[in-house]
Amino acid sequence: SAHRIDVVTIFPSFFDVLEVSLLGKARDRGLLDVRVHDLREWTHDRHRTVDDTPYGGGAGMVMKPEPWGEALDAIVADAAAPPVFVFPSPAGEMFTQATAREFAHEPHLVIGCGRYEGIDERVFEYAARLGRVRLVSLGDYVLNGGEVAAMAMIEAVGRLIPGVVGNPESLLEESHEGGLLEYPSYTKPASWRGYDVPEILLSGNHGAIAAWRREQQIARTRERRPDLLGE
């Protein structure tokens, strides 16, 4: 069963890079069906207008509801079941590995990329009549539009779809799946520019190596992300 992701954006070429990444292979193998749509296809005026000034005043422009309404209608009309609508927004709930796992279980996501000043609020209310709606933020900083965030989410979700990542064990060992940061990794040569690989890793003692790695995980989590330890 192919997972489908529709992306609606005013910058469709931004997503061309999906072809060449890990996810491009998932696409070729029929595991992931990503369809990118230009929001302007659902405008009808000469200038293909997608935004307008905010009611009540204020800086910036707001995305008009009409093209969004037509875009969501067209995608839903072409869908087997109600999708989950994902709107990247700095005003959303935090997107975490748990969110990525939830989304990886959804057969159909529709990601609506707005500019950061926002989309007319009524679009979210309308989308909620067509399916479930999630506003999600990558973190506490501001991007100009939802596209970079959408790309991050597609990669985080896509790699959790069975068969997309070659070695499923690499999904388990990583930061945030176990609630700790990753341990440090080394490869050959054993000595490089005066820096030596920790001796324990050359010992062949797998029990001692596992214990050392766990200690390293805890130490660096305490140092860099005490919040993950409740500290």
Give the residue numbers of the binding site for S-adenosyl-L-methionine.
Answer: 114, 138-143
E-strand stretches of 12-107: 32-38, 51-52, 62-63, 84-94
Burial 178-189, CB ≥16 within 10 A → b, else e: eebbbbeeeeee
From 71-79, 138-146, 174-182, 185-193, give the range in contact with ligand 6GU by CB under 6 A.
Answer: 138-146
Single residue of 32, 51, 85, 89 touching ligand 6GU by CB under 6 A: 89
Single residue of 11, 14, 116, 126 touching ligand 6GU by CB under 6 A: 116
61 touches ligand 6GU (CB under 6 A): no
137 touches ligand 6GU (CB under 6 A): yes
8 Å CB contact between 70 and 44: no
| Cα→Cα distances 155→5, 11, 125, Å | 11, 18, 27
Q: Quote the crossing angle between the two packed helices 147-158 and 97-104, to the nearest 10°.
A: 70
8 Å CB contact between 197 and 186: yes
Which residue, 137 or 175, is less far from ligand 6GU as judged by CB? 137
Measured from the CB of residue 210, what is the shortest distance to ligand 6GU in angstroms? Answer: 36
The site map against ligand 6GU for 149-188 (x = CB under 6 A) is x---------------------------------------
90 touches ligand 6GU (CB under 6 A): yes
Binding residues are: 114, 138-143
Single residue of 80, 81, 142, 172 touching ligand 6GU by CB under 6 A: 142
Closest listed residue to residue 101, CA positions, set 23, 161, 174, 56: 161
